[in-house]
Structure formats: structure tokens, C-alpha cells
Amino acid sequence: MGVITYHIDGTDCEIVTLDSLVNHLGLGTNLVHKVIEKANKKGCRRVWLITTNDNTHAIRFYQKRGFTWKAFHKNAIIESRKLKPEIPELGNDGIPVLHEIEFEYILG
């Protein structure tokens, strides 16, 4: 029904992907909480992730779950397209995909 992938590097834990086949049943929230729990046990100081500016669903989702907006990487996707030209120009709701937003959840 859902999957989350993450990577622990020292004291940082990055959520790489979060995918759910069902919405509004708490599956994504439970998966995120499991990663936070695992990161805490491994001695991480934070869990972090990056999403694009068009992903308004994810922006709301993570903020509602205690993640804070850490950084805004203006025009980062323009650089990413040099390596991955398949990244679309327009994303969710017809919003131009240009920027990356970094969120973090401080453990401790």
C-alpha cells in the first residue's frame, strides 16, 4: 500500500521517497513516524528531505507533521535538468518546476 525509502549518513537521515497508494488513511504519516523512530534509535540528530516547489501536497504534509522549512534552493531544478533532462518543465497543477525546498525534523 505504501513505501518509504531513507538513507542514514552519520547523524543525518534523509527521506528519499515516500509513496502511498491510498490517501488520508494515515499510511504516509505512519511510515514517516517509523523513519523518525529508526533515526532516533540510530543516534541521528535530524531527519530531512527535499521536495520541489510544485509539490504543494508534500509541502503541507511535512509541515503538518512537524517538519520545518530549512532552506529554499532557488533554480536548483534548472541545474538538475542538466543531469536529468526528463524532469518536466511543468509539475503539479501546471506549476513550473524550478526550485527545491528542504525540510527537516530535529530529533532529540
pLDDT in tens, 10-69: 999 999 999 988 888 889 999 999 999 999 999 999 999 999 999 999 999 999 999 999
Strands across the sheet containing 12-20? 2-9, 12-20, 46-52, 100-106, 68-73
pLDDT value of residue 81 = 94
CATH code for the part of the protein at 2-106: 3.40.630.30
Q: Say whether pLDDT at 85 is over 90.
A: yes
CB 59 within 8 A of CB 100: no
Q: CA 53 to CA 91: how far, in whole Å?
A: 9
pLDDT value of residue 97 = 97
Write the DSSP assignment of 45-65 as a string of letters: SEEEEEEETT-HHHHHHHHHT
